[in-house]
Amino acid sequence: MTAGRVIKCRAAVAWEAGKPLVIEEVEVAPPQKHEVRLKILFNALCHTDIYFWEAKGQNPLFPRILGHEAAGIVESVGEGVTELKPGDHVLPVFTGECKECVHCKSEESNLCELLRINTDRGTMLNDGKTRFSKNGKPIYHFVGTSTFSEYTVLHVGCVIKINPAAPLDKVCVISCGFCTGFGATVNVAKPKKGSTVAIFGLGAVGLAAAEGARVSGASRIIGVDLFPNRFEEAKKFGVTEFVNPKDHNKPVQQVIAEMTNGGVDRSVECTGSVQAMISAFECVHDGWGVAVIVGVPKKDDEFKTHPMNFLNERTLKGAFYGNYKPRTDIPAIVEKYMNKELEVDKFITHSVPLSEINKAFEYMLTGQGIRCIIRMEE
C-alpha cells in the first residue's frame, strides 16, 4: 500500500527554459485535504506545455514538472475527498470546478473562482507548498496538474471521473485540446447548418474547432495556417479550403472576405497570435458574423481594430476550455466518444515512451503530426 506515504517515481523535469527535459527520480508527497494523488498512465503533449517550457512570453518558473493533457487512475485521496476513491479512472484538468463559487453556480460560466487556471502558481492551494521534491529541494507544479510524472497530486476539483471502460490512451486528448477547440465552435461560435467558418491555426485545438464546425453542418470550412504540411491532414476534420497568409500580399482577412462574398459567418482563432485574432475578427461578415478567440496571447499583446467593425454588427467573443464545466460536462463527452458519436483517435499521430519525451517536443516544434501520446509505463 502506497497511501499516506511518499512515492518515489520517474518524472520528466524541466530544469530551465528551453533545455531538454530530464528523466529524474522524484518524491511525490501524499495528498493533503481536498487533494488526490493520481497514477498517470498516458499524456498527450499540448502546445501550452511547449509555451511554458520555452518561457518566452510568460514568467519563467523552474525547476518544474509540466504536462496537463493526460489520463490516469486514482492512487489515494486526501482528507475530505468523498467523490473519488482509489482505482477510479480519471482525467486531470488544468481548470477546475469547485461547484460552490458564483461561476460554478452560473449556467453561463466555467471560470471557477477557486480553481481557474493560474500559470504563475507552482504550489498547491492548500498550503502553498509543492508535493514534488528531489533531494529535499522542491520542484514546482504546472497549472495544478504536472502530469509528466508517474504520480502527481491535484486538487479534487481538477479531477474528472470517467467511464472505466474508456481507453485512457485515447481519451487523454479530451482533457484539454479536444474540448478547448470543439467547445469553442459548438458552445460559443454556434455555427448554423450551411454556414461558412474560418479556423485560424490547424494544430490540435484548431482541428477540434474544425471538427465542431463539421458536426454542426458547416458548408465551407476554411483553414488558415502558416504550415502548408498541415493542410492534407486537416481534410479529415472537414476543412474544405486552405489559406496560407504567406501566399498573399494583402491581409488574410481581405483574402477571406473576397473568397466568401463579404466574410465568413463564424471564425475561431486557435493560435495565440494577436495578429491572427485581429484577422479572425475582421474576416467575419458584417451584420451577423461572430469571431471566437481561443489562443492564449503573450502578456504584453494588445488587440487593435477600428470600432466601426463592432458598430457594423460583428461580434467578438472569447472561449475558455470550450465553455465546458469540467466535472459536470466532460464525462458526457467521453460517453459520446464511446458511443462513436465523436472521433478522437484521428488526433493521435505519434506515440513515445516517457524516456523519449523530448522526441514528442521535437515533433510539435517541427509541425509534425497532431498529438503525440507519451506512454508513462515503458
Separation between Cα atoms, residue 301 and residue 310, nearest integer Å: 20
79 given a catalytic annotation? no
176 catalytically annotated: yes
CA angle, corner 43, sides to 214 and 268, nearest 5? 30
- Secondary structure class of 103 (helix, strand, coil): helix
Q: Please list the residues that pair with 161 across neighbouring strands.
A: 90
- Known active-site residue 155: no
Task: Given the residues 35, 37, 112, 269, select the one marked as catalytic.
Answer: 112
Active-site position among 34, 64, 68, 155: 68
Catalytic, out of 9, 34, 48, 95: 48
Of 9, 75, 95, 104, the active-site residue reads 104
Parallel, antiparallel or unpaired: strands 132-134 and 137-139? antiparallel
Q: Choosing from 69, 97, 211, 282, which is the catalytic residue?
A: 69
The active-site residue, picked from 158, 176, 283, 372, is: 176
Is 101 a known active-site residue? Answer: yes
104 is a catalytic site residue: yes
Q: Return the amino acid letter for 335.
A: E
Burial class (CB in 10 A: 0-12, 13-18, 19+), 182: buried
Count Cβ atoms within 10 A of the Cβ of residue 66 and give its class: 0-12 exposed, 13-18 middle, 19 or more buried.
buried
Residue of 47, 89, 103, 327 marked active site: 47
Catalytic pick from 9, 10, 35, 46?
Answer: 46
Q: Catalytic pick from 9, 24, 98, 314?
A: 98
Across the chain, the runs of DSSP E, i.e. the strands, are: 7-13, 22-28, 35-44, 69-77, 89-92, 132-134, 137-139, 151-155, 159-161, 196-200, 220-224, 241-243, 266-269, 290-293, 315-318, 348-353, 371-375
Catalytic residue among 2, 27, 101, 123: 101
**Would you call 9 a catalytic residue per the annotation?**
no
Please report where in the chains the cell 459520446 appears, as a residue: 336
Alpha-carbon distance 318 to 323, whole Å? 9
Instruction: For residue 11, count other CB atoms closer than 10 A to its CB.
Output: 28
Marked catalytic residue, from 116, 131, 141, 285: 116
Residue 131 annotated as catalytic: no
Q: Is 98 a catalytic residue?
A: yes
Told to judge if 116 belongs to the known catalytic residues of this protein, a careful annotator would answer yes
- Residues annotated as catalytic (active site), given as ranges: 46-48, 68-69, 98, 101, 104, 112, 116, 176, 371
